[in-house]
Amino acid sequence: MPSLTDAWARQVISREEFPESFWPFVDFNRPLPYLIYSPPDAWGNRKVNARLTVLSEQGVTVLENTPGGVSSSEWLFDEIDYVEQGAVHLYSWLRLSGVPGGRPASVQVEYNAVVAPLFTRIVQAVRRSWTGTGNASLVEEQAKLAGLAAADYKFWSYARDSLLPGERILGQVYQPEIDVPWLLFFQRRVVPAYVSVLTDKELICISDDGSDGNTGRYGIVHRYVPLTKIKDWQLIPAIGEQTGIWRLQLTGEGIALCFSAPVQDYLLELADLLEEVRGKKASLPG
């Protein structure tokens, strides 16, 4: 009788452990790279094809077994604008966005949260490709986040664990959740809680909101953006109860962060720090 774990993604170390349809895309004459096989699965009405995720020294390749054959999405590390790892209950995903082959694209691999460490290894490999090595003390850098613990312990914990050894924190901004009255007795969320941490190598965004904007309060999403991929930005100020928007233009798609008026000055300070790295000065539009 099939087990529930049969549908879970797993690391494979030999060709016999994944479907033959993927074999032509793997060089068996060399030591096998890091491979994760994700069997066909379903999340509600969403059907997911079998996938093989390949981590090599040059980048990441995602193979998908579709009805029309195996499709290949190949990503060199320097073609990735950001890497995202999210989870809502057991539903989890890894997402790459950027310009593989010079064309804007994204690819997403879904998996059960139980096997998240398998994909975290890929996320860390992608991030290390742009953070490199540094001499900053991890303990000392994590201590810079201590003030966040009083505001939101959950986000403090996630932010603390998101740092890689060697990278140096330049600044941080915490945006509490923003709700508005809805119907008679309810509240509707318009901006999820999030924290943005700027290091000397990347911008880390940790949020209750996900790629589809529908994770609710039961999920968490980590998005890591190398500073070299932030080509430009625009900050639309918050006025009264109207939220502002910080738009980051990357090589491919853009990223937008909404914020409230009380957070605006802190976010502008963070943008100033970002511009110091880029050699410019941040300012609000006139």
Q: Which pLDDT does position 213 carry in this prediction?
A: 47
Q: Is the pLDDT of residue 211 over 50?
A: no
Q: Hey, which residues does 246 pair with through a beta bridge?
A: 235, 257
Percentage of the chain surpassing pLDDT 90? Answer: 76
Q: Is the pLDDT of residue 19 over 60?
A: yes
- The structure tokens 């625009």 sit at 234
Query: What is the largest distance, in Å, between two alpha-carbon atoms of the chain?
Result: 67
Q: How far apart are CA 75 and CA 108, in angstroms?
A: 12
- The structure tokens 């953006």 sit at 225
What are residue 133's phi and psi, to 5 degrees?
-110, 150
Q: How far apart are CA 125 and CA 59, in angstroms?
A: 9
Q: How far apart are CA 85 and CA 105, in angstroms?
A: 17
Q: Which pLDDT does position 16 carry in this prediction?
A: 95
Where residue 1 falls among pLDDT bands split at 50, 70, 90?
very low
Would you identify the CATH topology of the domain 138-278?
A: PH-domain like (2.30.29)
Q: pLDDT tens digits, residue range 60-82?
A: 999 999 999 999 999 999 999 99
Q: How many residues are recorded in the chain?
A: 286
Q: Is the pLDDT of residue 191 over 90?
A: no
- Which token pair is 194? 């999030």
Q: What is the mean pLDDT of residues 183-205?
A: 84
Q: Which pLDDT does position 77 carry in this prediction?
A: 98
Equal fold, 4-131 vs 138-278 = yes
Q: Which element (helix H / strand E) includes 139?
A: helix 138-143
Domain ranges of the chain: 4-131, 138-278
Q: What is the mean pLDDT of residues 253-265?
A: 92
* Helix spans in the chain (H): 116-131, 138-143, 146-151, 153-162, 261-278
Q: Which pLDDT does position 132 carry in this prediction?
A: 86
Q: pLDDT tens digits, residue range 130-151?
A: 988 889 999 999 999 999 999 9
Where residue 197 falls among pLDDT bands split at 50, 70, 90?
very high
Tell me which of 2.40.50.140, 1.10.3430.10, 2.30.29.30, 3.40.50.1700 is the CATH number of domain 4-131. Answer: 2.30.29.30
Give the count of beta carbons closer than 10 Å to the beta carbon of residue 165: 14
Q: Is the pLDDT of residue 182 over 70?
A: no
Closest CA to 55 of 11, 110, 22: 11
Whole-model pTM over 0.75: yes
Q: Collapsing DSSP states into helix, strand and coil, what is residue 97?
A: strand
Q: How far apart are CA 67 and CA 88, in angstroms?
A: 28
Q: What is the mean pLDDT of residues 189-197?
A: 87
Q: Which pLDDT does position 181 carry in this prediction?
A: 61
Q: Is the pLDDT of residue 170 over 60?
A: yes
Q: Which pLDDT does position 54 carry in this prediction?
A: 98
Q: Hey, which residues does 237 pair with through a beta bridge?
A: none
Where residue 189 falls among pLDDT bands split at 50, 70, 90?
low
Ramachandran assignment for 101, one of left (phi > 0), alpha (psi -120 to 50 degrees), beta (any other): left
Q: Which pLDDT does position 50 carry in this prediction?
A: 96
Where residue 98 falls among pLDDT bands split at 50, 70, 90?
very high
Distances (CA, A) of 182 to 178, 187, 209, 218: 13, 5, 19, 20
Sequence letter at residue 271: A
